[in-house]
Structure 1
Amino acid sequence: MAVGSTSETSHLVSTLICWSHCSDYPIYRDFCPYITNHGLGPRTFNGSHSWYRTHPHMLELVFHRRMLEYPCLTADSARADAVFLPYYAGIDALRYLYGRDVNSSASHGLDLYRFLRSEKPEIWERNNGRDHFLVMARPAWDFSRPPAPDQPAWGTSFLQLPELVNLTALTLESRPSPWQEHAVPSPTSFHPASLRRLESWLARARQARRANLMMFAGSVGVGSGPNIRRMIRDECEEEAAECEVVDCSGGVCDGDPIRYMRVMLRSRFCLQPAGDTAVRRSTFDGMVAGCIPVFFEERSAAEQFGWHVEEGEYGGLSVYVRKEEVVGRRVRVAEVLNGVSREEEMRMRERVLEMVMRVTYRRHGSSVGLRSIKDAFDLAVEGSIRRIKERLTFQSY
């Protein structure tokens, strides 16, 4: 099936947010460096071939660059079965979330809608946008604010606007009953450019000496009351010989994969408690390192990434411990993980490593050999096309 790309949309983005204003949003300090290498960010060091300082909110740029290589791409939108919009929704949202238009969040997306209706109205109107899709490199919650001005809430109203309700949106986390959006993996810092680079890294992860039973990378639990992160921190302090914590409070891990990847390589299990959102980029970082994920809520993974990891596959590559059991001190995480046999652990780790390319984004311009393996981008595009086809088929009845 052919995919069309409304390339003119990127000019709209350039008008809406100028790259020279990268440092205008304190939440990022200065996100200009992350834009380099088409959103992959700077290399971790000059000799690096696969590792970059990638910020997850740059997925829109990464996706756009990869789409330019898509074998079924056509510049003629009239011939396309699906239309990709290279609109950087998450970046454009910054002016509504933190910038000059913070009081106009209900307007986010209307400029895009007017552009699509005026530039090539026949393409939009043939299916009222049902055959259009885009990437929104933030959780869907950030775009789900009620448009009514008397209902103050976090986010913009992009996904709530009637004008854009038919779009398919690829987000970093979807809502519990998604019908507009579908979650795709957050980008890690690993972007191999050749099959040899991929195989070399996987061999390193398989051979890693894993002295730690478990590890946690993220902001440590806060507040005086019990919560899952606080309980994990307390247990790791008590089980210092078996658990290692990488404190990423204050964003110190952003753009510094070495800080946590070394610990993940020497750990058998990676703890993935929900934080501000249910889904954590750390889940995919850990999988790249061959560190078996430990989930504490179903919505952290099993309810999110059906195009990349089918729901029934999670039991073979992860451990699930109910959050309530840990917070209520009825279960200790270390005891659960020590109860996993070494044979089962090896099977799970091998399955995790087999899934690495399905949850990571290879570098643009990669070798022919690596292109034969579907990565997170390929699966996201295929899933979007299937979804659009199903919606249009249903519409015809």
Structure 2
Amino acid sequence: MLLPLSNPSSSPEPQIKKPKTPPDFQRKYSFKSLKAFLAAHYPSFNQPRICLFLSIFFIQILLLVALRSVPLSFHPSRHHFPSPFIAPHRHHLNATISTTTTTASATTASTVKEESSCEFGRIFVYDLPSALNKELVTDCDELNPWSSSCAALSNDGFGPVATGISSVVPENLAPAWYWTDQFVTEILVHNRILNHKCRTKDPNNATAFYIPFYVGLAVGKFLWLKNSSAKERDFHCEMMLKWVQDQPYFQRNEGWDHFLTMGRISWDFRRSKDEDWGSSCIYKPGMRNITRLLIERNPWDYFDVGVPYPTGFHPRSDNDIVQWQDFVRNRNRKNLFCFAGAKRSKIKNDFRGLLLNHCRNESDSCRVVDCAGSKCSNGTSTILEAFLDSAFCLQPRGDSFTRRSIFDCMIAGSIPVLFWNRSAYYQYEWFLPAEPQSYSVFIDRNAVKNGTISIRTVLESYSEDEIRRMREKVIEFIPKFVYARPQEGLETTKDAFDVAVDGVFRRFKEQEQPGYRWSAGPPIASGGMVVQGPSFWLGMAAMDFSASYLASWVSRKWAMVVTFV
């Protein structure tokens, strides 16, 4: 190599070859130099606890990078969600879209029950104090500050029979329809799990433990009361956790093999401060390792699992599924698209109000169902009829990121048009097709707002064959969207309950893999960001932190740093 000249004007000296430094020597002394540099400029680097924390942190990063490149069995599939998409213009789609009459079976291999034994294990259902479930249903008159909830909770949670719906659906399928409330999954799942073929009454034989706590009903009665206290909203959750944590089977595994259903959206249970909305149930230390089934999950929380909202269709048999699929497949759809919703006047630049106006301006291709007031409450078939008559249905976010209407739309064989990734793609991985574009359309909401995209133009660019394929994919997955009426389930078809329980069993099986719990299970991908589950941070407990406090703190912080997509 060339040595620097001491005097630029002097003549160059003969080149002298410098002896090559052994690689080990270089690494050794370069590290010392780096360490000395850091110690000089960052005095805290001399503190052993800081070094220990940084070491644990960087080891986790290295493991994460290494494991992401290896197809290990305990990593779930990660789907690439679509970017805002404008379909290239294709030939025009006529206002009336018809399909060829075909007959197909109700299910694919993924939704057919196997007659095998309980390969993943058995479920034990706790017998909780009645104040945590049965009494809440018995006191149904007190669950809503404005009206009684008794009708909504009748018929084992399915609600009143849907009268007058035979004018919209086949007459022989009308008895399978109910006016089901969207917040009753706790009751539906509890009744089904009591009759599950893999239920055991001996906890020593169980691989999964179900906690039949009606937490959504418990907190729902306080959500709309201005004078309700944080203590009231947390009372039932704290009672449940105290009871469950005293059970030897919970203590044995610290809750990792326990799960429950929370019948509202995740944010109703994530109160950070006493004066804020909802309960703080999810942030309680005892909830840290419990898997939670919710109609809307926090995509950055490993223990939240999104399950479908209950719809009004509750098939009584496999044949009900087949008949309904044939009915929606052969439906003559008069409208290109539709929108059912109400604007929120108190919300600035309300997107639903924009869609209502957009639809009214395209009245020759879009059907509007204005849900102002109580026009779209349980007891009307207007929305179902609109979905049945439309090729596409617009699905903006609701009061939260998700809305029941997405499933009402797909049950009717209509193709959902989404504007937020978190409305479906980040929510229901166990229940939806792996490729979002195979069953849905995603449109950039900002482009709609600024007028650079016409929803009608985008939807008209799809050919009839493309629409037929997308609709067929939606129809194929209908069994996974519904909660069947029989408490023992359908004959061979897996419904939403079966898919959810199978997923829980698989998850608990995966958790037995060496190192799985230490890393909090697999990281969760969101765009270009990877967020570890809560137990990733428990390595920091080597410092003077309480592990339970730390997990709660991290969970709270991630909830506040959510990127709205």
TM-score by length of structure 1 reads 0.91
Trace 1:134-153 onto structure 2 (pairs within 5 A). 134-146=260-272, 148-149=273-274, 152-153=275-276
The aligned residue for residue 279 of structure 1 is 402
Give, in whole Å, the separation in 2 of the partners of 1:234 and 1:219.
11
* 1:116 aligned residue: 244
The 8 Å contact of residues 96 and 156 in structure 1, kept in 2 or not, is answered as: no
Contact residue 189 and residue 257 of structure 1 kept, 8 A: no
The one-letter code of the counterpart of 1:35 is L
Alignment of 1:51-90 (within 5 A): 51-90=177-216
Larger radius of gyration: 2
SS at match of 1:134: strand
Q: Report matched runs for 1:100-115 at 5 Å.
A: 101-104=228-231, 105-115=233-243
1:334 to 456, 469, 480: 456
Q: Report the CA distance between 1:283 and its aligned residue.
A: 0.8
* 1:381 to partner: Cα distance: 0.6
Q: 1:194–1:366: 8 Å Cα contact kept in structure 2? A: no
C-alpha contact (below 8 Å) 2:415/2:470 kept by paired residues? yes
Residue 97 of structure 1 pairs with residue 239 of structure 2? no
Once residues 123 and 222 of structure 2 are traced to their aligned partners in structure 1, the CA distance between those partners, rounded to angstroms, is 29
Percentage of matched positions with identical amino acids: 32
Structure 1 counterpart of 2:500, one-letter code? A
Gaps of at least 5 residues in structure 2 are 1-119, 165-170, 520-565
Aligned to 1:3: 122
Given the superposition, is the C-alpha separation of residues 93 and 223 from structure 1 closer, same or farther in structure 2, using an over 3 Å criterion? Answer: closer
- For the Cα contact (< 8 Å) 2:133–2:214, is it kept in 1? no
Could you say which residue in structure 1 is the equivalent of 2:360?
237
Counterpart of 1:378 in structure 2 is 498
What per-residue deviation string (whole Å, max 9, x for no partner) do you get for residues 148-184 of structure 1? 54xx211100100112211110011111302221111
- SS of equivalent residue, structure 1 residue 171: strand
Say whether residues 1:362 and 2:484 are aligned partners.
yes
Offset of residue 249 of structure 1: 2.9
Shift of 1:10: 5.9
Conserved 8 A contact 1:65-1:364: no
The answer to whether 1:246 aligns with 2:369 is yes
C-alpha displacement of 1:313: 2.4
From 506, 509, 512, the equivalent of 1:389 is: 509
- The answer to whether the Cα contact below 8 Å between 2:192 and 2:488 also exists between their aligned partners in 1 is no
Which of 330, 345, 352 aligns to 2:467? It is: 345
Q: CA deviation at 1:387?
A: 1.9
Q: CA RMSD in A?
A: 2.2
Rate the CA distance shift 1:32–1:5 in 2: closer, same or farther, 3 A.
Answer: farther
Contact 2:208–2:257 under 8 Å retained in 1? yes
Secondary structure (helix, strand or coil) at the match of 1:57 reads coil
C-alpha deviations, 1:32-59, integer Å up to 9, x for none?
Answer: 1011121111110288321001001111
Change in Cα spacing, 1:206 to 1:15, as seen in structure 2 (3 Å) is closer
The secondary structure found in structure 2 opposite 1:55 is coil
Q: Which 10-residue stretch deviates more, 301-310 or 339-348?
A: 301-310
- Tell me what 1:35 maps to: 153
Answer yes or no: is the 8 Å Cα contact 2:245–2:286 preserved in 1.
no
Q: In 2 relative to 1, CA 251–115 (structure 1 residues): closer, same or farther, beyond 3 Å?
A: farther
TM score, norm. by length of structure 2 = 0.65
Q: Using the alignment, how far apart are the partners of 1:325 and 1:213 within structure 2?
A: 20
Q: Distance in 2 between matches of 1:13 and 1:108?
A: 7
SS at match of 2:151: helix
Which of 233, 254, 279 is equivalent to 1:156?
279
The alignment partner of 2:292 has SS state of: strand
SS in 2 for 1:208: coil
Which among 259, 268, 280 is matched to residue 133 of structure 1? 259
| Cα pair distance change 1:126/1:43, threshold 3 Å | same
CA 1:371–1:250 in structure 2 vs 1: closer, same or farther (change >3 Å)? farther
Distance 1:247 1:283 in 2: 16
Could you say which residue in structure 2 is the equivalent of 1:309? 432
Name the count of aligned residue pairs.
Answer: 388
How many Å apart are 1:205 and its aligned residue? Answer: 0.8
Q: Does 1:45 align with 2:163?
A: yes
SS of aligned partner of 1:109: helix
Q: Give the CA deviation at 1:69.
A: 2.2
Corresponding residue of 2:35: none
Q: Which has the higher helix share?
A: 1
Kept in 2: contact 1:107–1:157 (CA 8 A): no
Query: In 1, are the aligned partners of 2:207 and 2:257 still within 8 Å (CA)?
Result: yes
Check if 1:269 corresponds to 2:392.
Answer: yes
Q: What is the rounded CA distance, in whole Å, between the counterparts of 2:348 and 2:240 in structure 1?
A: 44
Q: Which residue of structure 1 aligns with residue 289 of structure 2?
A: 166
Structure 2 CA distance for partners of 1:326 and 1:10, relative to 1, 3 Å: farther
Of structures 1 and 2, the one scoring higher in RCO (CA 8 A, sep 6+) is 2
Q: What CA distance in whole angstroms lies between the structure 2 residues aligned with 1:141 and 1:303?
A: 15
Q: Which runs of 5+ in 1 are unaligned?
A: none
